[in-house]
Amino acid sequence: MTRGPTWFNITSLIAGFSFLYLPIVLLVIYSFNESRLVTVWGGFSTKWYVSLLQNDQLLDAAWVTLRVAFVSASIATVLGTLAALVLVRSGRFVGRTLFSGMIFAPLVMPEVILGLSLLLLFVAMDQTRGFWTVMLAHTTFSMCYVAVVVQSRLVGFDKSMEEAAEDLGCPPVKTFFLITLPIILPGVIAGWMLAFTLSLDDLVIASFTTGPGATTLPMKIYSQVRLGVTPEINAVCTILVALVTLGVIAASIATKRQQVQRERDERAAFGAEG
Amino acid sequence: MAKKSVGPVRREFTPWENPDHPPFIEFRNVSKKFGDFTAVRNLSLKIYEREFFALLGGSGCGKTTLMRMLAGFETPTSGQIFLDGQDLAGIPPYRRPSNMMFQSYALFPHMSVEKNIAFGLKQDKLPQAEIDDRVAEMLRLTKLEQFAKRKPHQLSGGQRQRVALARSLAKRPKVLLLDEPLGALDRKLREETQFELMNLQEELKMTFLIVTHDQEEAMTVADRIAVMDKGELIQVATPSEIYEAPNSIYVADFIGDVNLIEATVSEVSEDGTKLHSTGEGFLIESSQTTEAAPGDKVWYAIRPEKVRIAKGQGDAGAFNQVTGIVWDIGYLGDVSIIHAKVGADNRDILRATFANVSRMVEDPITWDEDVVLSFDRDAGVILTR
């Protein structure tokens, strides 16, 4: 029996990771390129990051994107959590299957169709398209993701905790805020973060529903790339990659620490009983 | 000769024997249906103040539904429930003067032990100083002082159980409802906790209602037990009555171990009843009078520990004895169980148990030996259903 990795394992691992990450690594490297030509290395420089700070168009687009993402993620979290509560808690009611199917349909619906139908709706309603329409559109599709995440958290929820709270004299609405919400909070936060990221990098739906003055960052990048990739775009993307990586690392460290703490607590508890 | 009573007397507390004594909790013709399934069927029951009452039955017998209706988590389909003279209909769980300890404990995972205990008191908007006093008292009562700042996941199973108990007792409810409170504990801890529960109930002078499927637990803690089956009460009586004088085959079989002998009534008199066992073909003389008439088929239920066993052959025509062959011997340490084949063709099995009172036994009973099984006139009960 061979322990440890074989040559086959190592090769496939390297191949797999290169496939996933080589393009991103190249992008990061070329963002520090001195040369204006994207594919020719002209020495190390951070000048594209400096010029980025002076590019008002890109900065504006980034600000719009952040605002859209924040507001839509927050609204989607409230609506998605309510939907998940109804799905998990209400038991069987007429139209439950239809309701749950319709909640999850946007997950598999092609974005183009969603974007187009929203555009038609906004036109029919005679809405001037801009910040609010993008925000509403993002809320619509990210709400489904929140519902899925929160639902999985609610399924493992012991309903007798709510009953216990009521039994001890706490009315139902107060019980929700004192007991239910704090317990499902990790799921709600995860749902919010998912909605936030989805909104951040959405291109298709945003381009259908946006109007003048509300260009999001992905749209800006896309339109600039069509005119030729500049190292400035590489710099923007590198910053985005760095942000996402930091977020993921922070989240996994937090989870790991929580787990270690939990194990230590449990050992202490059973040791004490010993 | 002193008057014979059934089993040991637990305490001088028998309000149910006085028909004028007002009940503290009363179920009046209560039914509960879930769709087509009837969980509780036209049930009436009275429970008295300061009583420790147990609802006992297998899973799905309706015992938990009955308790949940009292707590307000289920609404009766028909019938009324009274607590301390008040009709509970339409009162939501958070306004009912009862508190419940849940089977899963249902501790709030995001709150420390003391916050869990204080939760109910905070809902009553008591002054903080009083809340602190009450929490401290509960922590002392349940020996949890050193764990006050811990979160539930930092506690062992036994400690969690005590937090759940402390939390449900903190508001000093009129009734404490215990839903399978000791189900998750191991045997030794469970036995200890049973006695702790009894002491707590004495000390706090509260009414306790416990739901359990564990007959030993019900027998240990309760003043009275209600045996339930299929949503109905089969028998409501003290533990010793339930054990020594079951009113039906269901109760006799559910509680403890029993030999059920099918028999035909041969003679009924004021002095007692004579039976003829159908399978084993031996004669039984019981001091019990019965409504059954000669010729009726009945059951004679006798507990294994009330069957005496000795080596040798019995008299063929004598009452209350039968000859058998030892078929199986189970040694449990404190007692031994002997399964003996009896009857004409050694078809039926009669069980006898005896306490192993001495360590060394001269000439012990062994496998395939002839034995005489005998019992007293008042050792068993005649059951007609």
Tell if the CB–CB gap between A167 and B167 is shorter than 8 Å. no
Write down the pLDDT at residue A2: 55
- Into how many domains does chain A fold? 1
Residues of chain B with confidence (pLDDT) below 70: 1-10, 280, 344-347
Q: Kindly identify which residue of chain A lies nearest to residue B159, measuring between CA atoms.
A: A273
Residue A32 resides in a domain: no
Mean of pLDDT values over A13-37:
86
| C-alpha span between B256 and A155 (Å, rounded) | 39
CB contact under 8 A, B153 and A262: yes
Q: How far is A187 from chain B (nearest CA, A)?
A: 15
Contacts of A169 in chain B (CB under 8 A): 94-95, 120, 123-124, 171
Q: What CATH number has the domain bearing residue A181?
A: 1.10.3720.10
State mean pLDDT over A167-180: 93
pLDDT at A274: 37
- pLDDT, residue A58, reads 84
CATH of range B15-252; options 1.10.10.410, 3.30.360.10, 3.30.70.260, 3.40.50.300: 3.40.50.300
Test B99 with A167 for CB contact under 8 angstroms: yes
Determine the average pLDDT of the residues in A244-249. 83
**Residues of chain B found within 8 Å of residue A262, distances taken between Cβ atoms:** 153
What average pLDDT does chain A have?
85
Instruction: Give the pLDDT confidence score for residue A175 in this predicted structure.
Output: 94
Identify the CA nearest to B321 among candidates B276, B378, B373: B373
Looking at the predicted structure, is the pLDDT value of residue A271 above 70? no
A166 and B94 within 8 Å at the Cβ level: the answer is: yes
Q: How is chain B split into domains, by residue range?
A: 15-252, 260-383
Q: Which of A17-31, A85-99, B139-153 has the lowest mean pLDDT?
A: A85-99
Of all residues in chain B, the one with the smallest CA distance to A160 is B106
What pLDDT, on the 0 to 100 scale, is given for residue A273? 46
What's the rounded mean pLDDT across residues A171-176? 93
Cβ <8 Å between A179 and B159 = no
Q: Is residue A29 part of a domain?
A: no
Residue A199 lies in a domain: yes
Q: Looking at the partner chain, which of B102, B110, B158 has a beta carbon nearest the beta carbon of A164?
A: B102
Least confident range from A58-72, A259-273, B74-88: namely A259-273
Question: Is A251 a domain residue?
Answer: no
User: What CATH code is assigned to B260-383?
Assistant: 2.40.50.140
Q: What is the domain extent for residue A64? A: 56-236
What's the N-to-C CA distance of chain B in angstroms? 33
Q: Are A170 and B108 in contact (CB < 8 Å)?
A: no
Position B1 scores a pLDDT of 44
Of B71, B155, B159, the CB nearest to A167: B71
> Does the pLDDT at position A272 exceed 70?
no
pLDDT band at A268 (very low <50, low <70, confident <90, very high): low
Distance from CA of A263 to the nearest CA of B (A): 9
Q: Do B73 and A163 touch (CB under 8 A)?
A: yes
Is the residue at A2 inside a domain? no
